[in-house]
Structure 1
Amino acid sequence: MGGTMRSGALVSTRAALAGATGNALVMGVAEVSTPLGWVLLPGLLGVSTRPRVAALISAWAVVLLTASVVVPVVPGHRADPWALGASVVSLAAVPLLAWARRRREARAIARVPAPRDVAVFAVPAGPGHAALGVCRSPGEVAAAVPLRRGGLRVLVGVAHGATLARPEHARALESAFRREAPRRGRALPQIADTLDQLVRDIAPGGYLAATLVEVSPDGRVTLLRRGGPDAVVDAGPQIRPAGVPDGGPMGLAGVATSGTQVPAGTRRVAVTPALDDAHSRPSEAALRSPRAVDAVVALTGRRGGGRRSGPALVLDLPPERPA
């Protein structure tokens, strides 16, 4: 994850370029010559992706509308200076808008001070907040994606197998999650299925033991286990396991499962492989650390010292939430 944690683009590069090309063809065949018809869709696609890709889409859209004027096989974009100028200016603004969106999302994820051997990121989580600790231990896979209106999706897991646990493949899994998590209509089981297929493609002999977490804008927490750690929840008198059903690791013959919602009134949720590791199982004091970022640092530590092990996620939520 490095020094920063990136959020995913809503549209892939191929899809955006294909959309801009298809829009130009449709506008030409339909004899639509207004700048709005030629610029609106490429602009929306560009704003929904990374700034560099947005610049590529804008440049390609300029090429397409220029071709429609220079080689008017079918009536295309208007050739008068006003229309051409309006389109060029609009497309030039698209990368700037994509950059502004990216900056706004990046500000939602802030790295906070922590020991040198663990990177801790603070993220809004509905009406509460979350902390994600990353240690770059072998096979560690972790990604957090802020959603619209304050929601959050997080992947916490460990890749197993010599091939799948390689850093570049762990990063590929994180990138796939960042790509899928913000897409509308993609529920946690569907995201898990996409990761499952990617694991099979990368390393048929490996598997990903992960837990997916979703926090809705109103504070509801949903967990989906695919071989990953169970969560522990703090609802007041005692800290207890959440008892989330395990659907089996991704990449192996798992059982289809739906998400499990954390009961209303839960004040803290913690998810980390250390919860299932008898040699580094955290104490209740670590789980009850005053702040989420402090709890994450404590959860990644090993008893007796030694290299920290992650990832670790802690959610702190207001006690009063919708059932």
Structure 2
Amino acid sequence: MRSWALVSTRTALAGATGNAVVMGVAEVSTPLGWVLLPGLLGVSARPRVAALVSAWAAVLLAASVVVPVVPGHRADPWALGASVASLAAVPLLAWVRRRRKQRAIARVPAPRDVAVFALPAGTGRAALAVCRSPGEVAAAVPVRRDGLRVLLGVAHGATLARPEHTRALESAFRREALRRGRSLPEIAATLDDLVRGIAPGGYLAATLVAVSPDGRVTLLRHGGPDVAVLAGTEVRPAALPDAGPLGLAERAGSAAGTPADARRLAVTPALDDARSRRLAEEALRSPRAVDAVVALTGRPGGGRRTGPALVLDLPPA
């Protein structure tokens, strides 16, 4: 679904190398100085990258002992053993971190033509369905303390709808969503610039969703998909301002909070006829969010599924 690494391979290796150079020049010989930064970089990377960083840090450490151009790491057995043990533990800690994240996002059984993921969403839960229909754009990014940010949309225009360009939009959203302090309008502005750069004649009809750790939901609509809420036994459209599709809009959008009485919220492909709206109402009343999101991707008459779709189960206020 997404990359769990906070740092890239290049950044991690460069950081480990720079740390060794600084430690050598500063004549720092304690194991902590030589191991702390490479360890932090390794834990923040993928397990394979963590193993590579640990191995490279060990090579640099050994070089500082064997070829002491400037005073390097201590050569006594205790210091060397402490550093080796610490570096050996880094890939294991990175693997444990990755496993914890993977348990947070789980792919659940679904029909063959749709991929469904269960995710934490603040104090509630979410289900995301991805059908990979033409132009579909979907990305979900868990953030600190079970917060969540999601992009759902459809790219229009032959150039923008190409798979490599929809993947570029998803990657850009993930990067922006992980940046601390970035609001939904700021993320949308970055995506708007990217759309205009890739395909001046195309546009992205998208809805952005943010769930805070305390369960508060914020939405920003740029041309679609539609948003509906289940409040009590009633299913109704959510009254959200539409700032216009990304790549075409001339004004910034404004975010709107979730209605206070909503217990389920859905972002779904356009409800453009009575039959689609009736199917959506039936889907939202499904007991489980994963069943509801699968039903939302279905088309009247059993045609090809259309996505993406998101269902948020909200805790009682």
Shorter-chain TM-score above 0.5? yes
The alignment status of 1:51 with 2:51, answered yes or no, reads: no
Q: Which residue does 1:84 correspond to in 2?
A: 80
| Secondary structure, counterpart of 1:289 in structure 2 | coil
Shift of 1:83: 1.9
| Secondary structure, counterpart of 1:181 in structure 2 | helix
| Secondary structure, counterpart of 2:39 in structure 1 | helix
Relative distance call for 1:201 and 1:15 in structure 2 (3 A) is farther
Partners of 2:174 and 2:180 in 1: how far apart?
13
1:283-298 equivalences under 5 Å are 283=278, 284-298=281-295
Letter in 1 for 2:77: P
The range that moved more, 308-317 or 231-240, is 231-240
| Secondary structure, counterpart of 2:152 in structure 1 | strand
User: Does the CA-based 8 Å contact 1:8-1:145 persist in structure 2?
Assistant: no
Please, what TM-score do these two structures have when normalized by structure 1?
0.87
Task: Give the superposed CA RMSD.
Answer: 2.4
Letter in 2 for 1:108: A
The alignment status of 1:156 with 2:149, answered yes or no, reads: no
User: Does the CA-based 8 Å contact 2:4-2:101 persist in structure 1?
Assistant: no
Relative distance call for 1:183 and 1:280 in structure 2 (3 A) is farther
The range that moved more, 146-155 or 41-50, is 146-155
Instruction: Spell out, residue by residue over 1:149-194, the C-alpha distance to the aligned partner (whole angstroms, 9 max, x if none).
Output: 2222211111222232222332333233334433433333333344
Relative distance call for 1:251 and 1:36 in structure 2 (3 A) is farther
Shift of 1:109: 1.6
1:1-323 equivalences under 5 Å are 5-236=1-232, 238-252=234-248, 254-275=250-271, 277-278=272-273, 281-283=276-278, 284-320=281-317
The range that moved more, 43-52 or 286-295, is 286-295
Relative distance call for 1:61 and 1:256 in structure 2 (3 A) is farther
Please, what TM-score do these two structures have when normalized by structure 2?
0.88
Letter in 2 for 1:114: A
The range that moved more, 40-49 or 143-152, is 143-152
Shift of 1:10: 1.9
The range that moved more, 154-163 or 6-15, is 6-15
Instruction: Spell out, residue by residue over 1:37-79, the C-alpha distance to the aligned partner (whole angstroms, 9 max, x if none).
Output: 1211221121112112222222232233333334433332222
Give aligned pairs, total: 315
Relative distance call for 1:287 and 1:54 in structure 2 (3 A) is same
What fraction of aligned residue pairs are identical, expressed as a percent? 82
Letter in 2 for 1:314: V
Shift of 1:313: 0.2
Query: 5+ residue gaps in structure 2?
Result: none
Letter in 2 for 1:23: N
Letter in 2 for 1:315: L
The range that moved more, 280-289 or 152-161, is 280-289
Shift of 1:269: 0.9
Partners of 2:69 and 2:197 in 1: how far apart?
44
Letter in 2 for 1:160: H
